[in-house]
Amino acid sequence: MKQWLLLFWLCLPVWAFAQTDTIEVIPLERVVIQEIPNHISRVNHEPLNLPYMVASILQKEFSDLQAQQSLQEALNIIPGVFSQNTTNAAQDLRISIRGFGSRSPFGIRGIKLIVDGIPETTPDGQGQVDNLNLGLIQNVVVTTGPASSLYGNASGGVININTQKTFSKPYVEFASNFGEYGFQQYQGQTGFLIDSTAITIHGNYFLNDGYRNHSGSENQQFNINGLHAFSPSSKLNVLFNYSNSPEANDPGGINLEDWTANPASARQQNIDFNAGEAIQQWKAGVTHVKEFGLIGLRSYGFFAQRHFEGFLPFTTGGVVDLERNYGGLGSSLNWTTTSENWFNQLQVGFDAAIQSDDRSRFQNETGSVGALTFQQEESFNNFALYALNYWSKRNWAITAGIRSDWNRLEAEDQFFDNGDSSGRVDFNSFNPSIGLVYTANNAIRLRSNFSTNFETPTLSELSTNPDNNNGFNSMLKPQTARSIEFGGDFEKNMSNHYLNFNLTAYHIQTENDIVPFEIDQFPGRTFFRNSGQSKRQGIESLLTWATSNFVTAFSYTFSDLTYSDYVLDDEDLSGNRLPGHPQHQGSWLARYNAPKGWQVQAEALAVGERYADDQNQVLVNGHEIVNLSLGYEKAFANWSIKPSLGVRNVLNQSYFDNVRINAFGGRYFEAAPERNLFGGLRFKF
């Protein structure tokens, strides 16, 4: 039935209508760029001189020769970003930016995710990308470093994802990807124009047995996006997506002895308790942009519902049933003033968001749902006011921002066998930022920036009490950070080639770092504590060179992330490195489009050593990964065909796809697949 539903969307007829308004398309020759959509920076001006590191990759240009199994494929080239856990669908992709997000045992924490101008991250700071198909992504823009004065809670970095919704003529596209370990993916996409409206519909079906035992997953996705131009100065975008993942098994972490004996093995307790999850989610949103001369108004609103059922590898509370509703709205007003030699834009706005979690836990009777042990209704309400100002004169530009957030978290205990643990807590915050940019000869740009960040514990983190009581963990506090950044870039854009080099240095001081840990009573379940302080400093570099048929990019990241004040069980861990994040990371990406339709793409990633625990007693070796792919595109009168073939992990490295921080019993390790083949076939009409 699922395949027939997908086929229905694939075979939708295409109507060609007159287009009365031009819909802008991002230049394809700019592969890694600094210029970004206005909603990402929240400052609408040209040229866009931002005082912090921003990198963008036009993922659509590379994804057709990639396996399209993980967002990591789009992030590897961006300095300052480290991601892992691409093959355990039950835990989702884990992303760290300058150490923010490294604590996450599953999903994405401490980093703001935004899709088409609408927050994908929940108000309390949880995020995931399991409802977004990679074949739909047009470009990915990453802001590295704290940005709470722009986006509030959990903005240690910002990942903006823009899906494909602009095109010059109607089309229908079919694609299939396949590979070892039972990997299958079938996609269909169509775009058509009705007067001044562009509509994109996308369907996807994913199936994977997984490299490790007990790691299979299945996912179905549906997306629709409508972009309507009322006039050149007024545009409305409406989106809807649905995701259903009926199976995502969790093989768990294993110790070094079990990994040596069989890297593909799963933890036996995870098999016995049928560890994994099932998820259903839908989301609807709308954005509107209207310009009144030198005044601009931008507004958004969205609502989402997510149902989660998870089986954890232990008995007491080992089944989690979560019904989550969350939504938000916001609006901003831009006022621009200019003269002959200066430019100023002031933006004032508000954001409001609500989140409601109905959380229940049951006994896990070796894979079956047992008696109720926990029931709690949780809420997170946010309201924020912010003001941003951009001023430039000749070669100088100053950006300043302030934002005030009011956050109220409540827990209403519905399980009274151990008393009433209902409670409420307020986590409010004020975040300023200021940045300076100097541009010389329209090619060299120097910048500096001071910014701040705050990160509340998520509702799921607060509700995991080590004493196993209901209510919130009253000992867990928000994490805050102050950041100083210096950088510069050189850009040369000529008729036949494009060159850009970017270099950034930063220093971040944090308070009350939120750290994951496990205890022997509940092995496999993650709890959280505050560590005191950390000091994070590093250097990030990115070099891009592109011609009409060739593009290559190199990036290198040095990260010195250490605890500066952390005492645990009377042991002073100050000076230890933050676990889960390597000191050294480098990547390379290249693609050549031959004149007669052949395409070659190569990717390389080098990851240095990293620790698995706060005590820095378990050192995980580094690794180098090389991926190669080849494609051929043949165009006919009204359609084209494109087969492709690739090899991942060409060097057949034995390494870990995921390292579970502070795991109990030495079960830190999740093995990555060996050398494996993948391929694809694409039709476009």
The per-residue pLDDT for range 437-453, each reduced to its tens digit, is 999 887 899 999 999 99
User: How far apart, in Å, are the Cα atoms of 312 and each of 46, 219, 413, 524?
Assistant: 51, 20, 22, 7
Beta bridge partners of 589: 553, 603
pLDDT classification of 6: cutoffs 50, 70, 90:
very low
pLDDT classification of 33: cutoffs 50, 70, 90:
very low
Integer Cα distance of 292 and 495 in angstroms: 35
* Residue in the block written with tokens 């995701």: 243
Structure tokens at 210: 């997984």
Pairing of strands 217-231, 197-208: antiparallel
What residue spans define the domains of the chain?
2-684
pLDDT at 98: 94
Integer Cα distance of 350 and 76 in angstroms: 33
User: How far apart, in Å, are the Cα atoms of 529 and each of 11, 502, 512, 568, 614?
Assistant: 52, 36, 9, 10, 12
Residue 46 has pLDDT above 60, yes or no: no
* Threshold 0.85, pTM exceeds: yes
Q: Which of 14-23, 268-277, 460-469 has the highest mean pLDDT?
A: 268-277
How buried is 203 (Cβ within 10 angstroms: 0-12 exposed, 13-18 middle, 19+ buried)? buried
Judge contact between 363 and 315, C-beta under 8 A. Answer: yes
Smallest CA-to-CA distance from 455 within 416, 418, 429 is with: 429
Instruction: Identify the three-state secondary structure at position 74.
Output: helix
Pick the range with the lowest mean pLDDT from 42-46, 650-654, 663-667.
42-46
What pLDDT, in 10s, does the model give residues 521-557? 776 677 888 888 999 999 999 999 998 899 999 999 9
Pairing of strands 157-163, 112-115: parallel
Domain 2-684 sits in which CATH superfamily?
A: TonB-dependent receptor, beta-barrel domain (2.40.170.20)
Beta bridge partners of 425: 409
Residue 45 has pLDDT above 50, yes or no: no
Integer Cα distance of 348 and 159 in angstroms: 22
Integer Cα distance of 682 and 60 in angstroms: 14
Mean pLDDT, range 31-54, rounded to an integer: 53
Integer Cα distance of 553 and 272 in angstroms: 46
Smallest CA-to-CA distance from 388 within 152, 114, 668, 681 is with: 152
Instruction: Identify the three-state secondary structure at position 380.
Output: strand
Half-sphere exposure of 1 (CA within 13 A, CB side): 0
Judge contact between 264 and 180, C-beta under 8 A. Answer: no
Judge contact between 654 and 622, C-beta under 8 A. Answer: no
What pLDDT, in 10s, does the model give residues 206-224? 999 999 999 999 999 999 9
- Give me the amino acid identity at 240: F
pLDDT classification of 17: cutoffs 50, 70, 90:
very low
